[in-house]
Amino acid sequence: DTGVSQNPRHKITKRGQNVTFRCDPISEHNRLYWYRQTLGQGPEFLTYFQNEAQLEKSRLLSDRFSAERPKGSFSTLEIQRTEQGDSAMYLCASSAGLADGDTQYFGPGTRLTVL
Amino acid sequence: DQQVKQNSPSLSVQEGRISILNCDYTNSMFDYFLWYKKYPAEGPTFLISISSIKDKNEDGRFTVFLNKSAKHLSLHIVPSQPGDSAVYFCAASAYSGAGSYQLTFGKGTKLSVIP
């Protein structure tokens, strides 16, 4: 069990550029969540996948954000036309479902800095 | 409106003593509660959880207490160790209706254990 992994760990980009992050969940977990954390705050929910289906999106997820989970394995989160307000830690979590109370296990996060 | 509140931004405790971290919530639909520990530049690490049908759950040095009538939970760490120094997040989940059990987090409490 290698845990949840995320790449890259850090990303610095200029305003207006597109960025893409990857998340590899724990292999047997069919549920995958994306969260965003800004300084001094707890993580905030962005979107949820069950297998390959994106079932829920937060109102925080503007139309510049898109997420995919092809084949129900890894997931990508893309931000188009980045803005300085997008600077945050982007966290991915996976869970096995209700048998475990849907306990979510987090990856190390991707720190995005938009200049 | 903050549905999960951690009113103490920081807490200092002597090594060997008890650390008590508190959390209050407002949404009566929350039915599963979790505590996460977070080091700087890392993702949250799951510590312990409790279902709303229980009032206590214990795992080694960590015990979580839930008072549903007061909408209050607490995390007790006994004995506290310097390695416990980190930011602790309280999180709560409820079925969203769209398939997810997204977590709602507090802002965290920074615990410092003094040797």
**Vertex B31: Cα angle to B27 and B32 (nearest 5):** 115
In the predicted model, residues of chain B with pLDDT beneath 70 are: none
Identify residues of A whose CB sits under 8 angstroms from chain B CBs.
4, 6, 31, 33, 35, 40-45, 48, 50, 55-56, 58, 91, 93, 95, 98, 101-109, 111
Q: Which residues, 6+ apart, have CB-to-CB distance to B24 below 8 Å? A: B4, B5, B6, B7, B70, B71, B72
Whole-number pLDDT of residue B1: 75
pLDDT reading at A72 higher than 90: no
B53 at the A interface (CB within 8 A)? no
- B72: β partners: B24, B67
Helix (H, G, I), strand (E, B) or coil at B84: helix
Whole-number pLDDT of residue B99: 78
Give the integer Cα–Cα distance in Å for A104 and A4.
10
B105 at the A interface (CB within 8 A)? yes
A98 contacts on B by Cβ (under 8 Å): 101
Q: What's the rounded mean pLDDT across residues A64-83?
A: 95
CB contact under 8 A, A42 and B89: yes
Residue ranges of E strands in chain A: 5-7, 10-13, 19-24, 31-37, 44-50, 53-57, 65-68, 75-79, 88-95, 105-106, 110-114
Give the integer Cα–Cα distance in Å for A41 and A75.
24
Let me know if B19 is exposed, middle or buried by CB neighbors in 10 A (0-12, 13-18, 19+): buried
Quick one: pLDDT band at residue A6, thresholds 50, 70, 90? very high
pLDDT reading at A1 higher than 70: no
CB contact under 8 A, B100 and A41: no
Q: What's the rounded mean pLDDT across residues A83-102?
A: 88
Q: What is the pLDDT of residues A24-58, one digit of tens each?
A: 999 989 999 999 999 999 999 999 999 999 999 99
The CA distance from B70 to the nearest CA of chain A, in Å, is 22
Nearest to B94 by CA among A45, A72, A23, A38: A45
DSSP string computed for A63-88:
TTEEEE-GGGS-EEEEESS--GGG-E
Nearest to B34 among A44, A56, A103 (CB): A103
Whole-number pLDDT of residue A99: 60
A to B CB pairs, distance under 8 Å = 72
A109 contacts on B by Cβ (under 8 Å): 41-43
- Gap between the terminal Cα atoms of chain A: 36
